[in-house]
Amino acid sequence: MKKFSFTMPQTLYDQLMAHLFPGDGDEHGAVIAAGISQSAGYIRFLARTVIEALDGADYVRGKYGYRALTADFVARASDYCARERLCYFAVHCHGGSDSVGFSVIDADSHERGYPALLDITNGGPVGALVFAKNAVAGSIWLRDGVYPLQGLTVVGPNVRRLYSSRAHAPRGANPIYHRQSLIFGAAGQDLLNKTRVGIIGMGGAGSLVNEWLSRLGIGEIIAIDFDKVEPSNCPRTVGATHWDAQVWLSAKEWAPLRRLAGLFSSHKVSVGARVAKMANPRIKYHAIVGNITTMETALLLKDVDFLFLCADRAQSRLVFNALVHQYLIPGVQVGAKVQVNRDSGRVNEVFAVSRPVLPFEKGGCLLCNELIPAKQLQEEALSDEERRAQAYVDDPLIVAPSVITMNAVAGAQAVNDFLLGYFGLFSDSVNKGYLMQFCCDRQWSSVECRAVDGCLHCGKTSASAFARGDRAGLPCRG
């Protein structure tokens, strides 16, 4: 049976709740225009826009029930969804708090109107949602039948999950996780076991994140990296051995033997899989030898629950940022940098960064905050020959300094942000934005995020890919 869920950004959810529950105890209505993400047997709807129905004009006394959306409002909203290639969802509220469901009158109205809406919106899907203050129920209409909504996830600093009624808590957590379940509870540990996480880049920072998530009891990890282990990776890549790097061959003077080292060395994702399985033998692990900038690889991450970017190329940042906003996936960019004066060899600055990126305005969009330089994107797109012809630096001896402890500072902050937000443990006064530690000064500083009108990732113009899911293209090479 097909499974359906809904994801909403915090900002849209707050707008919708303010409209549905203004404090008058009455019923109110709206329409959500949503993108869609389809996987095998699983469809996730992505709220892009809330179209509020004006009481007394768009939402009026019903012919069959208490209130209903007017035919004119439905026509305008469904036409908008058809033109924008979005899915139409009618919304209203009921009383109560922790459980909700459609009335018989609601179900009859769906039978009367939704077959026609499927035609108007070019096959939909279309549907309906009914909210209580802490619950939601839904029905999804497709050409081949009607399906229930499994639940709705609100993505903000704190992730919130709504269902039609309170879920039954598991009886107890696995004793292995007893100490951390004292924080998250048995239900929290069960949630971790059902969680899918993506990691882009399995070098210094990514390998640390990978081990920590595995030891926490994450149920599924999709790790992506095309690179192999080199001798210089061993000091900072968790689990990497001299055998993985073929150190004994890479040190040989004869070039063919050094080339053999590259041929027989292990992929970083293979090392990550070994580390994860040692920490949690039951984990479902996908070690993807690939490049996130290719479409086939990027789409493997479109339905993860959280995304870690542990690679520092501008093209990787671009695809990560697009995935976060186009598919409404919370994520974080992790990194550490040592700035060294190449002439004197003096260390100028050492800093570690954890940049949460959430899919809403001022949520940390890397494009809006000028962290995806166009010049660097252009340079990375060049072939080696083109780069040399344009006199870009191409010296294999010039590499960025890196130390495992500095990666650990950034990675630990990022994983803590994931955990606390995923379980709704952030306080209302949580410090939003990016965090940066200047290691030489032992100082943390926060950076307030900004938003740029018309952004192609987080903006709401017709040109933006925000919450469009499969109905927009990712900025990949092919």
| DSSP calls for 273-294 | HHHHHHH-TT-EEEEE-S-TTS
Q: What CATH number is attached to the domain comprising 106?
A: 3.40.140.10
For residues 147 and 179, state if they share a domain.
no
How much of the chain exceeds pLDDT 70, in percent? 93
For residues 195 and 324, state if they share a domain.
yes
How many structural domains compose the chain?
Answer: 2
Phi-psi region for residue 91, left (φ > 0), alpha (ψ -120 to 50) or beta?
Answer: beta
For residues 193 and 158, state if they share a domain.
no
The model's pLDDT over 126-148, given as tens digits with 9 standing for 90+, comes to: 999 999 999 999 999 998 889 99
Question: Does a structural domain hold residue 411?
Answer: yes
Q: How confident is the model at residue 393, as a pLDDT?
A: 42
Does 396 have pLDDT greater than 50? no
For residues 67 and 179, state if they share a domain.
no
Q: Per-residue pLDDT averaged across 268-282, rounded?
A: 97
For residues 405 and 356, state if they share a domain.
yes
The model's pLDDT over 191-236, given as tens digits with 9 standing for 90+, comes to: 999 999 999 999 999 999 999 999 999 999 999 999 999 888 889 9
Q: Per-residue pLDDT averaged across 332-343, rounded?
A: 84
Q: Which of 107, 130, 162 is the last residue of a domain?
A: 162
**Where do the H-state alpha helices sit in 354-473?**
374-380, 384-389, 404-422
Question: Does a structural domain hold residue 313?
Answer: yes
Dist. CA 135–CA 96, nearest whole Å? 9
Q: What CATH number is attached to the domain comprising 302?
A: 3.40.50.720
For residues 180 and 322, state if they share a domain.
yes
Comparing CA positions, the residue from 180, 419, 433 lying closest to residue 306 is 419
Comparing CA positions, the residue from 346, 319, 321, 316 lying closest to residue 332 is 321
Question: Does a structural domain hold residue 257?
Answer: no
For residues 215 and 331, state if they share a domain.
yes
Mean per-residue pLDDT over the chain, rounded: 90
Q: Per-residue pLDDT averaged across 269-273, rounded?
A: 97
CA distance readout (Å), 468 to 5, 140, 236, 246: 15, 18, 38, 45
For residues 86 and 212, state if they share a domain.
no
Question: Does a structural domain hold residue 65?
Answer: yes
Question: Does a structural domain hold residue 158?
Answer: yes
For residues 179 and 97, state if they share a domain.
no
Question: Does a structural domain hold residue 241?
Answer: no
Residues facing 447 on adjacent strands: 434
Q: DSSP letters of 308-321?
A: EE----HHHHHHHH
For residues 130 and 223, state if they share a domain.
no
Question: Does a structural domain hold residue 80?
Answer: yes
Q: Which of 162, 187, 219 is the last residue of a domain?
A: 162
Q: How confident is the model at residue 345, as a pLDDT?
A: 74
Dist. CA 408–CA 167, nearest whole Å? 36
Dist. CA 364–CA 353, nearest whole Å? 13
Parent domain of 82: 3-162
Question: Does a structural domain hold residue 454?
Answer: no
Tokens encoding 257: 């033997």
Comparing CA positions, the residue from 311, 426, 420, 440 lying closest to residue 366 is 311
Residues facing 356 on adjacent strands: 332
For residues 109 and 185, state if they share a domain.
no
Q: How confident is the model at residue 207, as a pLDDT?
A: 97
For residues 132 and 195, state if they share a domain.
no
